[in-house]
């Protein structure tokens, strides 16, 4: 691996209208992942005329970042083979992460090292390669062409050998762990009340807005300052609510029907209806929808001091 002192930053220039007029040869690169298939392509323009298209496919387990970086590597290889065409080349990419990665002098990534080595070689031969970041899907013709060909490249049969990234194995392992966790959660005879709110682990993980606290946790578990729960431990003489219904005071009763909290409940019902949810709702709606969860928290905070 080259010493960091032998690895130079890339020549990065801002993209502007008609920048291609200043470069006889321009390469647009792109990577794409469609239906779990990964393709990449670069398109060569000489004097604004599309002259060459190069398409490749890599293993399905590879990332779009790998595709983008490999595409730049292929474009640099092409320039090294065709250095006689010009002393100034421009490579345009819509992958800002790839361009930033190429400015890292200590990266052990083989592709990055290879690209940097080839750029140093070309520089020693008097050939300058410039890079420019272009935003995708804003109508830049070269970028649109590279994008289309990259998508088409996912249909190729042959693959370029490519190391599967660690991120793929981490993703597979994470999915496996969550699946096992969910299975254990489903078959467990515990947490019956909690499962009313979160029927699956997947639902809980998706609810990134959900932040538990002392009061919310009592309602989710059914373990709290409720007469139905307190009576189990002889901490209350009765499990019946002090309202006129004669019903057991548990989580269901407090949320859905206790007459003492009708005004507070009306606000919760209003929020649900505004978000196209019927009353009574499934308890999962109260926590998995961000707006409903916020209203549910307000409902709990307003009734909690008056439950007993």
**Tens-digit pLDDT profile for residues 106-142:** 888 999 999 999 999 999 999 999 999 999 999 999 9
Q: What is the 3-state secondary structure (H, E, C) of 43-101?
A: EEEECCEEEEEEEEEECCCCCHHHHHHHHHHHHHHHHHHCHHHCCEEEEEECCHHHHHH
* Helix/strand/coil (H/E/C) assignment for every residue in 270-303: HHHHHCCCCCCCCHHHHHHCHHHHHHHHHHHHHH
Q: How confident is the model at residue 269 (pLDDT cuts 50, 70, 90)?
A: very high
Among 267, 262, 272, which residue's Cα sits nearest to residue 306? 262
Q: Helix or strand or coil: residue 233? A: coil
pLDDT digits (tens, 9 = 90+) for 254-264: 999 999 999 99
pLDDT at 7: 73
Mean pLDDT of the chain: 95
CA–CA separation, 267 vs 255, rounded Å? 12
Sheet containing strand 88-93, edge to edge, reads 11-12, 128-133, 88-93, 25-34, 37-46, 49-58
| pLDDT for 9 | 79
Record the pTM: 0.75
| Portions of the chain given CATH number 3.30.420.10 | 4-167
* Percent of the residues in the chain that have a pLDDT greater than 90, as a whole number: 93
Per the listing, tokens 């407090």 go with 254
What band does 105 get if pLDDT is binned at 50, 70 and 90? Answer: confident
- What's the rounded mean pLDDT across residues 150-159? 97
Contact 228, 250 (CB under 8 A): yes
Provide the pLDDT confidence category of residue 241 given band limits of 50, 70 and 90: very high
Which CATH code of 3.10.20.30, 3.30.450.150, 3.30.420.10, 3.40.50.300 fits the domain covering 4-167? 3.30.420.10
Binning pLDDT at 50, 70 and 90, where does residue 8 land? confident
* DSSP run (H or E) holding 42: strand 37-46
């Amino acid at each position: 691996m080259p010493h960091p002192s032998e690895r130079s930053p890339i020549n990065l220039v801002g993209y502007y209208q008609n920048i291609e007029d200043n470069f006889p040869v321009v390469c647009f690169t792109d990577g794409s992942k469609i239906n779990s298939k990964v393709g990449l392509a670069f398109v060569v323009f000489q004097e604004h005329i599309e002259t060459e298209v190069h398409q490749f496919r890599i293993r399905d387990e590879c990332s779009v970042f790998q595709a983008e970086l490999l595409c730049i590597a292929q474009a640099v290889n092409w320039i090294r083979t065709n250095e006689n065409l010009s002393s100034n080349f421009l490579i345009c990419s819509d992958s800002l992460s790839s361009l930033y990665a190429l400015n890292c002098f200590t990266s052990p990534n083989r592709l990055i090292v290879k690209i940097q080595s080839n750029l140093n070689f070309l520089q020693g031969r008097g050939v300058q390669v410039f890079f420019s970041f272009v935003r995708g899907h804003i109508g830049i013709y070269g970028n649109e062409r590279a994008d289309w060909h990259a998508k088409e490249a996912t249909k190729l049969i042959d693959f370029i050998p490519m190391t599967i990234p660690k991120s793929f194995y981490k993703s597979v392992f994470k999915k496996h762990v969550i699946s096992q966790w969910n299975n254990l959660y489903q078959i467990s005879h515990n947490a019956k009340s909690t499962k009313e709110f979160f029927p699956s682990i997947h639902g809980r993980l998706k609810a990134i807005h959900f932040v538990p606290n002392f009061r919310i946790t009592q309602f989710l578990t059914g373990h709290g300052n409720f007469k139905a729960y307190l009576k189990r431990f002889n901490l209350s003489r009765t499990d019946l609510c002090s309202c006129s219904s004669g019903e057991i005071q548990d989580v269901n009763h407090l949320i859905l029907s206790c007459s003492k909290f009708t005004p507070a409940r009306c606000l919760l019902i209003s929020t649900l209806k505004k978000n196209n949810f019927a009353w009574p709702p499934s308890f999962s709606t109260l926590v998995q929808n961000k707006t409903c969860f916020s209203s549910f928290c307000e409902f709990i905070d307003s009734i909690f001091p008056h439950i007993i």
